[in-house]
Structure 1
Amino acid sequence: MKIFLTGLGFVGSKLVTHLIQSPENQLRVVSRSPSATLPAGVHFEQVDSLEKVINWPTLIGDSQVVIHTAARVHVMNDSCDDPLEEYRKVNVRGTLALAEAAAAVGVKRFVFVSSIKVNGEETFPETPYKADDVPAPRDPYGISKLEAEQALQALSSSSGMEVVIVRPVLVYGPRVRANFYNMMNWLFKGVPLPLGAINNKRSLVSIYNLVDFIGVCAKHPRAANQTFLISDGQDLSTTELLQKMGRALGVSVRLLPVPVSMLKLTASIVGKSGISQRLCGFLQVDIEKNRRLLDWVPVCSVEEGLARTAQDFLTGRRA
């Protein structure tokens, strides 16, 4: 299968390694970032900016499938004058330009890596998001991803190109950065954390499960024109995640059993309600559709995913 992949970020770089393991796959990759060491046989082109590329047909060539991971990613406390417009430039207009070119040159399927933020920010206990729920994005990033999904679905209806939408929850794995890396760093240093009494549930997805699922979506006949949510299939409380990550790192975890009500009140006083929501709130997804429609089950357990992530973190500390 001839595949055209955009992006060599956290997801895209691991996806290259996964896809090229199948001898039948031929891979063309474009990215704003200079190419790292790519496996032999992968054709790479560097582009200046997703929304400015005008030679998509030439770059796509005779690819049968496009997998689009490149995006303007979620930015905490975005300082742009008009954040939604900045997201739209790349995530909506840039995506649609690529998709229109793909349809014009005869690409059969377009796999779009979206975000759980299209569904919303939190769920009620025991009421996980489902793939076919009515979207309810709350921030500019989530809105831009929903608008991109809607534009792709309209293009699919008019062109006949199949579109598959994948909405991941928080992705972790080797080379993870941002909050997940900070969490590991705090645990490794033995910092006492007031997070020992949180009984929420949140869905996560290891990079190994995500890239495996995207690979299935690229070729499975029943994935055509479907939307999927993706997770490890095992939800954890914030407290459980910290405990499991501590064991993976081989350190003693120092968690103080501060009541959730106190955490929320303190966060509200200091203007950090968003952080308390992510630490204390529920965000669960239902992946039964993936099992039922695609016969897909997670290939990597939470324990294995955390162990691989911890090992990479520890290796980096020793380097």
Structure 2
Amino acid sequence: MRHILLTGGTGFVGSAVVARLVVDGYAVTAAVRDQHAGLPANVQRAVVAGLDADTQWSSALVGCDVVIHSAARVHVMNDTSTDPLAEFRKVNVEGTLNLARQAAAAGVKRFIFISSIKVNGEGTTLGKPYTAFDTPAPQDPYGVSKLEAEQGLRQIADDTGMEVVIIRPVLVYGPGVKANFRSMMNWVNKGVPLPLGAIHNRRSLVSLDNLVDLITTCIDHPAAANQSFLVSDGEDLSTSQMLRRMAAALGRPARLLPVPQRWLCAAAGLLGKAAVAQRLCGSLQVDIRHTCETLDWQPPVSVDEGFRRTAHAFLNE
């Protein structure tokens, strides 16, 4: 039986990974800050003070075959740190590489790193998706820190022989989702008219179930070693389509006003909300053919099923 150490095990993605690993019969140790963190009864706890260059992982790594590293200092809007990149580096670069070095020294065979599509950049030209082989072009401190962690992990793999797998998700949604996706669900559920009925962009999304399925596929798949994978649901949606499909999942009408996109962008610019307009009106597509062909993998959950599961959890909270 493979023994897996998972970081970030109480987070949005990590908690779903824990649940899947338990069902699949793995021995799981979850790194947590709080001894009383909510975890399944048969999951071991490894209490660590934080995630930085000084964290000691020796006891958590005993007998460990695979590390799944999903913990991170996450991207936040309107970061108030005086030096955001330095803060991201402490956790996402120094903390990650410290764990990886100790994992390699402890005999861990494979290190799965949950990175971010922000390593590729912030947006694509319509119909020209990112691929796993594009030259990285991160545009914010979070994306830069994830790229630097990837580069450091590849060097550790070269130096030690420990296999490294890098996964770059796009926007993840699913039961319990927070932030912008949840806000949009709330607006749609309340029947708020939204001026987003004429947006013709394309954005890739990934359901939590599809991301977890890919992560668990990478635990044992021999072809995953030392590869980077992009992941999505395999169907790209415009913002208008996404809201209509979301409304259908919620059992609500989609009240979308067909305001021209250029008007929205102009208004957002005047209000200092250009970044919000970019996320709503811009495109960000990924090509997952390398992932699917290398791993003989397909996203098991469709967009509509992913939305249905997300809406069901939202309505029952």
TM-score, scaled relative to structure 1? 0.97
Partner of 2:99: 98
Is the contact between residue 195 and residue 256 of structure 1 (CA under 8 Å) also seen in structure 2? yes
Shift of 1:55: 2.4
CA distance in 1, matches of 2:53, 2:118: 26
Is the contact between residue 31 and residue 70 of structure 1 (CA under 8 Å) also seen in structure 2? no
> Among the aligned pairs, what percent are the same residue?
57
How big is each residue's C-alpha offset from its partner over 1:213-233, in whole Å with a ceiling of 9 and x where there is no partner? 000111100000000000000
Any idea what SS the aligned residue of 1:286 has? coil
Partner of 1:184: 185
Partner of 2:204: 203
Partner of 1:284: 285
Which residue, 20, 45, 60 being the options, matches 1:18? 20
Q: Which amino acid aligns with 1:266?
A: A
Q: Which amino acid aligns with 1:244?
A: R
How big is each residue's C-alpha offset from its partner over 1:259-282, in whole Å with a ceiling of 9 and x where there is no partner? 000011001111111111110111
Is the contact between residue 35 and residue 44 of structure 1 (CA under 8 Å) also seen in structure 2? no
Shift of 1:40: 3.3
CA distance in 2, matches of 1:235, 1:35: 40
Is the contact between residue 48 and residue 55 of structure 2 (CA under 8 Å) also seen in structure 1? no
Shift of 1:52: 6.1
Shift of 1:54: 3.2
Q: How many residues align?
A: 315
Is the contact between residue 55 and residue 95 of structure 2 (CA under 8 Å) also seen in structure 1? no
How big is each residue's C-alpha offset from its partner over 1:151-180, in whole Å with a ceiling of 9 and x where there is no partner? 000111011100000000000000000001
Shift of 1:184: 0.6
Q: How does 1:214-229 map to 2 (within 5 A)?
A: 214-229=215-230
Structure 1: stretches of 5+ with no match in the other structure: none
Structure 2: stretches of 5+ with no match in the other structure: none
Is the contact between residue 157 and residue 164 of structure 2 (CA under 8 Å) also seen in structure 1? yes
Partner of 1:250: 251
CA distance in 2, matches of 1:52, 1:223: 27
Any idea what SS the aligned residue of 2:23 has? coil
Q: How does 1:3-82 map to 2 (within 5 A)?
A: 3-7=4-8, 8-23=10-25, 25-32=26-33, 35-51=36-52, 54-82=55-83
How big is each residue's C-alpha offset from its partner over 1:167-221, in whole Å with a ceiling of 9 and x where there is no partner? 0000000000000110011111111100000011100000000001000111100
Partner of 2:311: 310
Shift of 1:53: 5.3
Q: Which amino acid aligns with 1:230?
A: V
Q: Which amino acid aligns with 1:18?
A: R
Is the contact between residue 53 and residue 94 of structure 2 (CA under 8 Å) also seen in structure 1? no
TM-score, scaled relative to structure 2? 0.97
Q: Which amino acid aligns with 1:110?
A: F
CA distance in 2, matches of 1:190, 1:158: 56
CA distance in 1, matches of 2:222, 2:238: 35
Partner of 1:112: 113
Q: Which amino acid aligns with 2:273?
A: K
CA distance in 2, matches of 1:67, 1:301: 25
Partner of 1:266: 267
Greater mean deviation of Cα atoms: 193-202 or 57-66? 57-66
CA distance in 2, matches of 1:168, 1:218: 17
How big is each residue's C-alpha offset from its partner over 1:232-263, in whole Å with a ceiling of 9 and x where there is no partner? 00110000000000011111111100000001
2:144 matches 1:134:
no
Shift of 1:98: 0.3
2:174 matches 1:173:
yes
CA distance in 2, matches of 1:257, 1:82: 41
RMSD over aligned CA atoms reads 1.1
2:296 matches 1:295:
yes
Is the contact between residue 195 and residue 258 of structure 2 (CA under 8 Å) also seen in structure 1? yes
Residues 117 and 154 of structure 1: CA distance in aligned 2, closer, same or farther (over 3 Å): same
